[in-house]
Amino acid sequence: MAFLAVTTTPSPKFPSFKPSRAKKFTPTRLTKLQEDAKNHEISYESYFLRISSLCKEGQLRQAVKLLSAMELKNLQVGPEIYGELLQGCLTERALFTGQQIHARIVKNGDFFSRDEYIETKLVIFYSKCDVSEVGNRLFRRLRVQNAFSWAAIIGLHCRMGYSEEALLGFLEMQKSGVLPDNFVAPNALKACGALRWIGFGKGVHGYVVKMGFGGCVFVASSLVDMYGKCGVLEDARKVFDAILDRNVVAWNTMIVSYVQNGISEAAIDMFYNMRVEGIEPTRVTVSSFLSASANMGALQEGKQGHAIAVVGGLGLDKILGSSIINFYSKVGLIQDAELVFGRIPKKDVVTWNLLISGYVQFGQVDKALSMCQLMMLDNLRFDSVTLASLLSASADTSDLNLGKEGHCYCIRNNLESDVVVASSIVDMYAKCERIDYARQVFNSTINKDIVLWNTMLAANAEIGESREALKLFYQMQLESVIPNVISWNSVILGFLRNGLVNEAKDLFLQMRSSDIQPNLITWTTLISGLAHNACANEAISVFAQMQVAGIKPNTVSIVSALSACSDVAALHYGRAIHGYATRHDILLSVHIATSLVDMYAKCGIIDQAKWVFDMILNKTLPLYNAMICAYALHGQALEALELFKQLEVEGMEPDNITLTGLLSACCHAKLVNEGLELFNHMVSKLHMKPTMEHYSCVINLLSRCGDFDEAMRLILTMPCKPDAHILGSLIAACRDFPEIELGDYLSKHLLKLEPDNPGNYVALSNAHAASGRWDEVSYVRDLMKQKGLRKVPGCSWVQIGGELHVFVAGDKSHPKIGDIYTTLALLGTEMRFTGYEHMFGDSEILFS
DNA sequence: ATAGGGTTAG
């Protein structure tokens, strides 16, 4: 029973003195006591007061010195002095000093270390310093677990993210007969919010009301926060409205709830209401307001928020600074973001990440990379967010080496198990055309979330692996991940990229009857996919359906619809879309103008195309290209060349498309000198490498003008093998002149060169058809049949008398069919569709 | 009691 004897040591004599009395000392009495202490014998009381005030001022070293002085003089030190010292260490979060005090307490024997007040203080101290092992151990050894220690330990669990433990503590506390007070309730509510346990939260709400804490702003604000975190904004608002004296925190909590639930408008509204009530915003207010502004892309509001922070003298800490940077980079004002970045005194990873992701988002990969280097020089390590941005940059630029470096960094630093990072890695490999690597990373990631599934789905859809995409779509559902709009959209895209139009339409119908409704991107995907698969008329009708469904078309959908109109020369619909764009003030978009130029040109109205072209002030290269190709289509080579001059005057660099347009314009107009001059200019002055199309235009031009020698010379000197198209056009020209011998030679050569390439046979038959030699066409087709070659879709046409004969090989829905409509449009409106006929087993569309 | 960053679809 020796140890019992220790615990029952007779208590030393202490002055009967309670810390609560300290509050009654007035400042004058305090100074008097301090003077006494200097001159005369220092009383216990004044030691206590001196230590207490030093602790409150944060002068911990001085306070500890006094404690040592007391110990030297063999003065008895009571629990209240240790308590004050611990409180001082607590507010200063001075863990080391606190541990020293703890050591002295233990050294002084069980009377001190087992004092209820001291024990509780120690639990609170270690809990607040987030030393959970010690805090928990001391708490478990407590003989009396009072409301204070319970609050400390529940708060500790809360801060460490052990929300379940916090709530268990809340229950256990009640079970042991200690009633949770208005200090514990906020922590319990915070845990409910973190766990999204609305049921438990409501229980706490009921308890709070029963106990009469409902009027406490702290508790009410926590309730607002809890309901907000659980997504029940109506209840959050009800609690908020019932608070009688709302302080800034209450307002902030409500604003934050709206922001976190994506209701930015309401958050902004709240902010203005708060200002009307004359509540001064804090950094928390402004940074939440800026989040809302950033999410809405509300330029004016965000700038106002920044101004309020400056005018209100709110210091630029890293969180407020980050919010400002986030806002500026989200609205694209990267330079302003840079400026603010430079003014933040203490930056952390988040600050750097924001600027880096801003750069990545606006395509400034170089700046993002140099930022990463500077970040390393600042002794900061990359985290998963940095890597996600870096990997996304590698994906955008298809930089496989950079991407691999990023992947390796993730492996070395254990970041690859983060789903977000895994998604970025998968996306990076997919965009760098290494779907095999993407698949490997995808398979080895344990916890797949919807974004990761969608990333893999999109990767397969992009390359038309529709089977694989559909498989993933079912597989994710088997693993209880419910597809969202993006998943559906990707599967539809996969079908369309694979040319499976019916399957795509089918899935779209399924989607419309499911819980998930098509959004703008679904409609756009479908319209553009139909247009690309030669279903122009359907594309146009889907575009109309989309408006019926109440979805406002954007630039991409309008451009796709216009391209569909171009394909079938649907002037009527094209004009309607033009009108729509004008009414909605989106005509200024260069992309739409470019499509309009193309559409009007292909519908035969070159003047209208020029009108649209002239209307755009800041012309881009694609716009010039569209107009040049429009002139080429209409055989107006001189105008095209004039435009080329204008383009060079404006300091633009022509690209391959520009040159193709110009050369084909020359070719149509048989401007042989201009064409050759252009070709030489392109090679020697612009240092451009001619493509097969460029050679094709020039060789076609030469042969159409009868210069077969020069054409052959070019064929022999070109760095790549001539394709079927080039030889085909040459053969066609041979028939026209006639250069029968050369033509026959080339024909045989073409078939000898690549006897198994069906494209060559098609080219040949097209060439024969163009010169009206039907027997030859028939012969070539027979040859194909003998060789068992599948027909390659394609078409050709020829005008004989008043009739236009159009030959369509294979499927009538082949994209090439669009050319027929364009040709018809160019020929004028007299041409009338008269029906299909069959010739050589293929369809022939007759017009007259 | 309240605040900041990242990944997927046309």
Distance (Å, whole) CA A507 – CA A645? 49
> Does residue A365 reach within 7 angstroms of strand B, measured from its CB?
no
Q: Which nucleotide is nearest to A461 (CA to C1')?
A: B9
pLDDT at A657 over 80: yes
Q: Which nucleotide is nearest to A487 (CA to C1')?
A: B9
Do A663 and A701 contact (CB within 8 A), yes or no?
yes
Separation in Å: B5 C1' and A430 CA: 25
pLDDT band at A20 (very low <50, low <70, confident <90, very high): very low
What would the two tokens of residue A729 be? Answer: 């056009």
Do A118 and A124 contact (CB within 8 A), yes or no?
no
In this predicted structure, what is the pLDDT of residue A829? 46
What is the mean pLDDT of the segment spanning A144-149?
Answer: 87
Q: Which of residues 283-312 of A touch strand B (CB under 7 A)?
A: 283-284, 287-288, 291, 294
In this predicted structure, what is the pLDDT of residue A742? 81
Do A519 and A552 contact (CB within 8 A), yes or no?
no
Separation in Å: B5 C1' and A264 CA: 18
What is the mean pLDDT of the segment spanning A497-506?
Answer: 97
Q: Which of residues 571-600 of A touch strand B (CB under 7 A)?
A: none
Distance (Å, whole) CA A794 – CA A281? 69
On the 0-12 / 13-18 / 19+ scale of CB atoms within 10 A, A583 is exposed
Look at strands A833-839 and A794-800 and give their pairing: unpaired
> Does residue A551 reach within 7 angstroms of strand B, measured from its CB?
no
Between these two residues, A527 and A93, which has the higher pLDDT value?
A527
pLDDT band at A398 (very low <50, low <70, confident <90, very high): very high
Condensed to tens digits (0 to 9), the pLDDT of residues A451-474 reads 999 999 999 999 999 999 999 999
Q: Which nucleotide is nearest to A219 (CA to C1')?
A: B1
Separation in Å: B5 C1' and A548 CA: 39
pLDDT at A232 over 90: yes
The reply to whether A693 falls in a domain is no
Condensed to tens digits (0 to 9), the pLDDT of residues A595-642 reads 999 999 999 899 999 999 999 988 999 999 999 999 998 889 999 999
The reply to whether A809 falls in a domain is yes
In this predicted structure, what is the pLDDT of residue A785? 78
The reply to whether A804 falls in a domain is yes
What is the mean pLDDT of the segment spanning A674-682?
Answer: 92
Q: Which residue is nearest to nucleotide B3 (CA to C1')?
A: A284
Do A644 and A656 contact (CB within 8 A), yes or no?
no
Q: Which nucleotide is nearest to A229 (CA to C1')?
A: B2
What would the two tokens of residue A528 be? Answer: 């553009």
What would the two tokens of residue A204 be? Answer: 């706490």
The reply to whether A844 falls in a domain is yes
Distance (Å, whole) CA A69 – CA A467? 83
Do A61 and A43 contact (CB within 8 A), yes or no?
no
Q: Which long-range contacts (CB under 8 A, 24 or more apart) does A636-642 make?
A: A636/A606, A636/A665, A636/A669, A637/A665, A637/A666, A637/A668, A637/A669, A637/A671, A637/A674, A638/A669, A638/A671, A640/A665, A641/A665, A641/A666, A641/A674, A641/A678
Q: How many CA atoms does the CB half-sphere of A446 hold within 13 Å?
A: 3
Separation in Å: B3 C1' and A282 CA: 10
Q: Which nucleotide is nearest to A260 (CA to C1')?
A: B3
In this predicted structure, what is the pLDDT of residue A62? 84
In this predicted structure, what is the pLDDT of residue A790? 59
In this predicted structure, what is the pLDDT of residue A190? 94
In this predicted structure, what is the pLDDT of residue A791? 54
pLDDT at A833 over 60: no
Give the DSSP letter string of A699-752.
HHHHHHTT-HHHHHHHHHHSSS---HHHHHHHHHHHHHTT-HHHHHHHHHHHHH
Q: Which of residues 307-336 of A touch strand B (CB under 7 A)?
A: 317-323, 326
Separation in Å: B1 C1' and A794 CA: 71
Distance (Å, whole) CA A781 – CA A839? 11
Separation in Å: B8 C1' and A385 CA: 16
Q: Which nucleotide is nearest to A322 (CA to C1')?
A: B4
CA dihedral A742, A748, A752, A756 (to 10 degrees): 130
Q: How far is CA A635 from CA A311, A628, A665, A668, A780, in A?
A: 64, 10, 6, 6, 31
The reply to whether A531 falls in a domain is no
In this predicted structure, what is the pLDDT of residue A756? 76
Triad A480, A484, A488: Cα angle to 5°: 105
Number of domains in chain A: 1
Q: Coil, helix or strand for A806? A: strand
DSSP annotation of A837 reads: E
In this predicted structure, what is the pLDDT of residue A337? 95
Q: Which nucleotide is nearest to A248 (CA to C1')?
A: B2
Do A631 and A597 contact (CB within 8 A), yes or no?
no
Q: Which has the closest alpha carbon to A223: A184, A261, A250, A189?
A: A189
Separation in Å: B9 C1' and A256 CA: 29
What would the two tokens of residue A181 be? Answer: 């007070």
pLDDT band at A143 (very low <50, low <70, confident <90, very high): confident
Q: Which residue is nearest to nucleotide B9 (CA to C1')?
A: A486
Separation in Å: B8 C1' and A215 CA: 45
- Give the range of the structural domain holding residue A842, as residue numbers without chain letter: 793-848
Q: Which residue is nearest to nucleotide B5 (CA to C1')?
A: A350
Condensed to tens digits (0 to 9), the pLDDT of residues A202-230 reads 999 999 999 988 889 999 999 999 999 99
Q: Which residue is nearest to nucleotide B8 (CA to C1')?
A: A455
Do A184 and A173 contact (CB within 8 A), yes or no?
yes
The reply to whether A841 falls in a domain is yes
Separation in Å: B4 C1' and A290 CA: 10
What is the mean pLDDT of the segment spanning A9-35?
Answer: 43
Q: Which nucleotide is nearest to A488 (CA to C1')?
A: B9
pLDDT at A817 over 50: yes
| Torsion sign (Cα): A738, A740, A742, A748 | positive
The per-residue pLDDT of chain A, averaged, comes to 86
Q: Which has the closest alpha carbon to A222: A186, A265, A169, A274?
A: A186
Distance (Å, whole) CA A387 – CA A393? 10
Nucleotides of B under 7 A from a protein CB: 1-10
In this predicted structure, what is the pLDDT of residue A27? 52
Q: How many CA atoms does the CB half-sphere of A166 hold within 13 Å?
A: 30
pLDDT at A588 over 90: no
Distance (Å, whole) CA A557 – CA A539? 10
What angle do helix axes A318-330 and A299-311 make, rounded to 10 degrees? 160
pLDDT band at A816 (very low <50, low <70, confident <90, very high): low
The reply to whether A397 falls in a domain is no
In this predicted structure, what is the pLDDT of residue A266? 94
The reply to whether A807 falls in a domain is yes
Query: What does R_g of chain A's alpha carbons equal in angstroms?
Result: 40
| Of A631-645, A684-698, A711-725, the least confident | A711-725
Separation in Å: B6 C1' and A90 CA: 35
| Residue found under tokens 């509001």 | A301
Distance (Å, whole) CA A820 – CA A174? 83
Between these two residues, A453 and A82, which has the higher pLDDT value?
A453
> Does residue A563 reach within 7 angstroms of strand B, measured from its CB?
no
Separation in Å: B8 C1' and A387 CA: 16
| Of A40-49, A436-445, A813-822, the least confident | A813-822
In this predicted structure, what is the pLDDT of residue A827? 62
> Does residue A101 reach within 7 angstroms of strand B, measured from its CB?
no
Q: Coil, helix or strand for A8? A: coil
> Does residue A423 reach within 7 angstroms of strand B, measured from its CB?
yes
What angle do helix axes A555-567 and A536-548 make, rounded to 10 degrees? 140
> Does residue A250 reach within 7 angstroms of strand B, measured from its CB?
yes
Q: Coil, helix or strand for A40? A: coil
pLDDT at A529 over 50: yes
Q: Which nucleotide is nearest to A323 (CA to C1')?
A: B4
Separation in Å: B4 C1' and A270 CA: 20
pLDDT at A518 over 60: yes
| Of A50-64, A419-433, A440-454, the least confident | A50-64
| Residue found under tokens 């122009």 | A536
What is the mean pLDDT of the segment spanning A307-316?
Answer: 93
The highest-confidence range among A113-122, A306-315, A772-781, by mean pLDDT, is: A306-315
Between these two residues, A700 and A44, which has the higher pLDDT value?
A700
Q: Which of residues 518-547 of A touch strand B (CB under 7 A)?
A: 519-522, 524-525, 528-529
Give the DSSP letter string of A200-218.
HHHHHHHHHHHHT-TT-HH
Q: Which nucleotide is nearest to A356 (CA to C1')?
A: B5
Condensed to tens digits (0 to 9), the pLDDT of residues A335-379 reads 999 999 999 999 999 999 999 999 999 999 999 999 999 999 999
In this predicted structure, what is the pLDDT of residue A11? 35
pTM: 0.79
| Of A529-543, A644-658, A674-688, A727-741, the least confident | A727-741
Percent of chain A with pLDDT strictly greater than 70? 86
pLDDT band at A823 (very low <50, low <70, confident <90, very high): low
> Does residue A765 reach within 7 angstroms of strand B, measured from its CB?
no
CA dihedral A56, A58, A64, A70 (to 10 degrees): -30
Between these two residues, A291 and A788, which has the higher pLDDT value?
A291
Q: Which of residues 139-198 of A touch strand B (CB under 7 A)?
A: 155, 186-187, 190
